[in-house]
């Protein structure tokens, strides 16, 4: 029997003699009572763990925690050796307790990494990733931080679960996508309409939360099949000026939510990757269920050289809209995207997309084409990782009618751009702030759809 007495035995070499004695005569030692100082016992436990004598290390550590359940050094030893002895749960609980008892970055880093390892040995990979993020917060130097990043990626590859949470806050001059004017002028028709306040551009703040869950039900060297789920919510806070324009409107009138469930299959095909996805979803606006939809997509991506690659995709979505006039819309979209990496590592990409929608409602039938170009710098520009995007989109509603058919239909021309700055040096638990400055302007022959928007979106993204 091992017992640690609080009265100190000041002979420092004593624990070494007892360690040798216990190693050689375990059966005899188990029937005896030995008293060590707490410090000597901690040293013996750690030395036994470092030399691979896990059973002996556990015996010392358990005796120490019997004397003091908050003995951090003993808990660290248990966190290290219990997974080696087939008890990862006990190791994880000991590591978590050691973390709570730690009071420096170095000790918290040590405890968090041991707890992450124990959780991984339990096959609780998501929990292991959480503890690795905690370790990254307390990493004592850049080398330790990079090692934690590498370990996180390794655990992520083992984890069948993938969890992504996006949060953003965006002050904007047009949170509701409203018109820039209170009048509705239609080219070619002899009347003018007046828009209600809630149809005009309203300033305020938009906050969005986007949670995506992926679970791999099959993983093979050349293929992967996953089930997916997504929950999205957008909330609006109107400014005082907006409340003057639309005095009867409330924040909740412009809130929206989406819920989706899907199945995704991805496999290697030749030198590229082919992926197919099918999903079903529900959407709400202003607190009311507005639509249910089903979507199917097919995508192929390939890299033709070290610096040049592209993707080609097609998508079909059927949307069933509720309300006063229930109807079904069918949208088809084809997209091509090409990407080129320069010798310096910067990335230039371009995208062209064509879409068309059929509908039982004349005013919801359209064809649209969009072109977009982006440029991202590989090296930081000052303290930020910078990327720029610009594009143009034209949408034509050939059958658009307001009392009378609009001559030549309604045509909207939209120009948009954004600058995104990632602050890589401001890192907490592997998350870095992202600021996006966005601008878009739409001109239409139906002035109800003339609109412009300027926004600043502040969010976070994972850095590893």
pTM here is 0.87
- Biggest CA pair distance of the chain: 107
pLDDT, position 23: 40
pLDDT, position 324: 75
Q: Is 71 exposed, middle or buried (0-12, 13-18, 19+ CB in 10 A)?
A: buried
In this predicted model, what pLDDT tens digit does every residue of 270-293 receive, in sequence order? Answer: 889 999 999 999 999 999 999 999
Helix and strand totals (H; E) in the chain:
10, 20
- Please give the distance of CA 400 from its chain centroid, rounded to a whole number: 40
The rounded mean pLDDT for the chain is 91
* pLDDT reading at 188 higher than 70: yes
Q: Which helix (H) or strand (E) holds 135?
A: helix 125-137
pLDDT, position 140: 93
Asked whether 366 and 402 are in contact (CB, 8 A), the reply is no
pLDDT, position 191: 67
Mean pLDDT on 35-48: 88
Please name every residue paired with 309 in a beta bridge, in sequence order, or none if there are none.
303, 339
Mean pLDDT on 196-209: 96
pLDDT bucket at 35, cuts 50 / 70 / 90: low
* pLDDT reading at 108 higher than 80: yes
Asked whether 134 and 151 are in contact (CB, 8 A), the reply is no
Mean pLDDT on 199-209: 96
Mean pLDDT on 116-124: 97
* pLDDT reading at 25 higher than 70: no
* pLDDT reading at 93 higher than 90: yes
In this predicted model, what pLDDT tens digit does every residue of 310-368 receive, in sequence order? Answer: 999 999 999 999 877 899 999 999 999 999 999 999 999 999 999 999 999 999 999 99
* pLDDT reading at 20 higher than 50: no
In this predicted model, what pLDDT tens digit does every residue of 407-449 receive, in sequence order? Answer: 999 999 999 999 999 999 998 998 999 999 999 999 999 999 9
* pLDDT reading at 50 higher than 90: yes
pLDDT, position 33: 54
Name the nearest CA neighbour of 238 among 220, 254, 262: 254
Residues 167, 442: Cα–Cα separation, whole Å: 27
* pLDDT reading at 371 higher than 90: yes
For the four alpha carbons of 135, 140, 144 and 150, in that order, the dihedral sign comes to positive
pLDDT, position 309: 96
Please name every residue paired with 338 in a beta bridge, in sequence order, or none if there are none.
310, 350
Higher-pLDDT residue of 464, 380: 380
pLDDT bucket at 192, cuts 50 / 70 / 90: confident
Residues 433, 68: Cα–Cα separation, whole Å: 42
Domains and CATH numbers, the chain: 2-157 (1.25.40.10), 163-462 (2.40.160)
For the four alpha carbons of 11, 16, 20 and 22, in that order, the dihedral sign comes to positive
Residues 5, 56: Cα–Cα separation, whole Å: 18
In this predicted model, what pLDDT tens digit does every residue of 143-162 receive, in sequence order? Answer: 999 999 999 999 999 999 99
In this predicted model, what pLDDT tens digit does every residue of 57-86 receive, in sequence order? Answer: 999 999 999 999 999 999 999 999 999 999
Asked whether 438 and 409 are in contact (CB, 8 A), the reply is no
Side-chain half-sphere CA neighbours of 12 within 13 A: 0
* pLDDT reading at 123 higher than 60: yes
3-state secondary structure at position 58: helix
Asked whether 348 and 331 are in contact (CB, 8 A), the reply is no
């Amino acid at each position: 029997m091992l017992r640690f007495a609080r009265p100190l035995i000041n002979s420092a070499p004593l624990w070494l003699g007892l360690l040798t004695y216990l190693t050689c005569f375990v059966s005899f030692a188990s029937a005896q009572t030995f008293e060590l100082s707490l410090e000597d016992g901690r040293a013996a436990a750690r030395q036994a763990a470092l030399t691979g004598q896990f059973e002996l290390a556990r015996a010392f550590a358990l005796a120490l925690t019997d004397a003091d359940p908050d003995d951090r050094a003993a808990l660290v030893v248990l966190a290290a050796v219990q997974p080696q002895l087939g008890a990862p749960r006990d190791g994880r609980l000991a590591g978590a307790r050691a973390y709570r008892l730690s009071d420096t970055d170095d000790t918290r880093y040590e405890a968090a990494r041991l707890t992450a390892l124990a959780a991984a040995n339990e096959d609780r990979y998501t929990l292991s990733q959480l503890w690795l993020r905690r370790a990254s917060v307390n990493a004592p130097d850049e080398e330790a931080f990079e090692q934690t990043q590498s370990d996180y990626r390794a655990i992520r590859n083992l984890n069948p679960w993938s969890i992504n949470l996006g949060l953003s806050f965006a002050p904007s001059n047009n949170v509701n996508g409203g018109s820039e004017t209170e009048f509705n002028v239609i080219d070619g028709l002899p009347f003018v309409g007046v828009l209600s306040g809630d149809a005009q551009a309203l300033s305020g703040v938009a906050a969005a939360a986007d949670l995506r869950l992926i679970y791999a039900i099959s993983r093979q060297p050349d293929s992967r099949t996953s089930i997916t789920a997504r929950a999205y919510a957008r909330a609006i806070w109107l400014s005082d000026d907006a409340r003057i324009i639309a005095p009867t409107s409330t924040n909740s009138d412009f809130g929206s939510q989406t819920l989706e469930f899907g199945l995704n299959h991805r496999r290697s095909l030749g030198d590229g990757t082919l992926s197919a996805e099918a999903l079903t979803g529900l959407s709400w606006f202003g607190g009311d269920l507005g639509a249910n939809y089903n979507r199917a997509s097919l995508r192929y991506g390939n890299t033709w050289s070290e610096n040049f690659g592209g993707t080609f995709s097609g998508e079909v979505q059927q949307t069933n809209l509720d309300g006063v006039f229930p109807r079904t819309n069918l949208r088809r979209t084809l997209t091509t995207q090409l990407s080129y990496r320069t010798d310096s590592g910067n990335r230039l990409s371009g995208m062209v997309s064509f879409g068309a929608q059929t509908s039982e409602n004349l005013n919801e039938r359209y064809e649209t084409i969009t072109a977009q170009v982006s440029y991202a710098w590989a090296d930081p520009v000052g303290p930020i990782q910078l990327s720029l995007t610009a594009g143009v989109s034209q949408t034509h509603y050939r059958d658009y009618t307001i009392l009378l058919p609009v001559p030549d239909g309604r045509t909207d021309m939209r120009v948009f751009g954004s600058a995104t700055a990632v602050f890589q040096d401001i890192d907490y638990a592997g998350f870095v702030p992202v600021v996006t400055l966005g601008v878009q302007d739409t001109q239409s022959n139906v002035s109800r759809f003339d609109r412009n928007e300027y926004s600043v979106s502040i969010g976070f993204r994972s850095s590893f």
